Amino acid sequence: MDADVIIVGAGPVGLMLAGELRAAGARPLVLERRPRRRDVPKAGGLGGQILELLRYRGLLERLEAACADPVPAPRFPFGGVHVDFTDLPDTPMHALPLPQQRLERLLEERADELGTEIRRGHPVVGVSQDDAAVTAEVHGPDGPYRVSARYLVGCDGARSRVRDLAGVGFPGTTYPEVNRLAQVTLPDTVTVLDDGGLDVPGFGAIRPGFTRTDRGLFGLGSSPGAEAVSVFTTEDEATEYDDDAPMTVAELQGSIRRVLGADLPVGEALRLSRFTFQARQAEHYRRGRILLAGDAAHLFPATGVAINAGMMDAVDLAWKLAAAVHGWAPADLLDTYHRERNLAAARTMLHTRAQVALRRGHDPAAEALRELFQELLTDEQPLRRMSALLSGADIRYPMPGADHPLAGAFAPDLTLHTDQGVTSVADLMRAPRPVLLDLADRTDLREAARDWRHRVDVRTAKTGQRPADVLLIRPDARIAWAASLDEPAGTAAPALRQALSTWFGAPDPGSS
Q: What is the tally of structural domains in the chain?
A: 3
Same domain, 26 and 156: yes
Residue 375, pLDDT above cutoff 60: yes
Confidence of residue 254 (pLDDT cuts 50, 70, 90): very high
Whether residue 226 lies inside any domain: the answer is: yes
Domain boundary among 277, 305, 324: 277
Whether residue 327 lies inside any domain: the answer is: yes
Average pLDDT, the chain: 93
Confidence of residue 10 (pLDDT cuts 50, 70, 90): very high
Confidence of residue 114 (pLDDT cuts 50, 70, 90): very high
| Pick from 305-319, 328-342, 361-375: least confident | 361-375
Same domain, 147 and 43: yes
Q: What pLDDT shows up at residue 152?
A: 98
Whether residue 424 lies inside any domain: the answer is: yes
Higher-scoring residue by pLDDT: 135, 87 = 135
Same domain, 372 and 227: no
Task: CATH number of the domain at 224, please.
Answer: 3.30.70.2450
Same domain, 193 and 253: yes
Task: CATH number of the domain at 344, please.
Answer: 3.50.50.60
Confidence of residue 221 (pLDDT cuts 50, 70, 90): confident
Q: What pLDDT shows up at residue 19?
A: 98
Q: What pLDDT shows up at residue 371?
A: 93
Q: Can you tell me the distance from the alpha carbon of 460 to that of 484, in angstroms, rounded to the nearest whole number? A: 16
Q: What are phi and psi of 205, to 5 degrees?
A: -75, 135
Same domain, 145 and 289: yes
Measured from the Cβ of residue 62, the count of other Cβ atoms closer than 10 Å reads 14
Q: Can you tell me the distance from the alpha carbon of 329 to that of 339, in angstroms, rounded to the nearest whole number? A: 16
Residue 358, pLDDT above cutoff 80: yes
Whether residue 212 lies inside any domain: the answer is: yes
| Pick from 69-78, 135-144, 246-255, 310-319: least confident | 69-78
Same domain, 164 and 251: no
Whether residue 460 lies inside any domain: the answer is: yes
pLDDT digits over 327-338, tens only?
999 999 999 999
Same domain, 37 and 83: yes
Q: Can you tell me the distance from the alpha carbon of 86 to that of 224, in angstroms, rounded to the nearest whole number? A: 15
b/e burial code for range 102-115 (CB count within 10 A of at least 16 → b):
bbbebbbebbeeee
Whether residue 34 lies inside any domain: the answer is: yes
Whether residue 402 lies inside any domain: the answer is: no
Same domain, 387 and 487: no
Task: CATH number of the domain at 422, please.
Answer: 3.40.30.120
Domain boundaries, position 362? 3-170+282-391
Same domain, 15 and 145: yes
H-helix segments, 231-334:
249-260, 306-326
Domain boundary among 225, 250, 277: 277
pLDDT digits over 498-512, tens only?
999 999 999 987 655
Measured CA distances, 38 to 6, 35, 101, 244 (Å): 21, 9, 7, 8
Higher-scoring residue by pLDDT: 484, 40 = 484
Domain boundary among 225, 255, 277: 277
pLDDT digits over 32-69, tens only?
999 998 776 677 889 999 999 999 999 999 999 998 77
Q: What is the mean pLDDT of residues 333-361?
A: 96
Same domain, 255 and 382: no
Whether residue 386 lies inside any domain: the answer is: yes
Same domain, 73 and 158: yes
Residue 200, pLDDT above cutoff 90: no
Q: What pLDDT shows up at residue 226?
A: 65
Same domain, 57 and 132: yes
Query: What percentage of the chain reaches a pLDDT higher than 90?
Result: 75
Amino acid 388 reads: A
Q: How many residues does the chain have?
A: 512
Answer positive or negative: Cα dihedral of 170, 174, 178, 183: negative
pLDDT digits over 172-183, tens only?
999 998 989 998
Confidence of residue 225 (pLDDT cuts 50, 70, 90): low
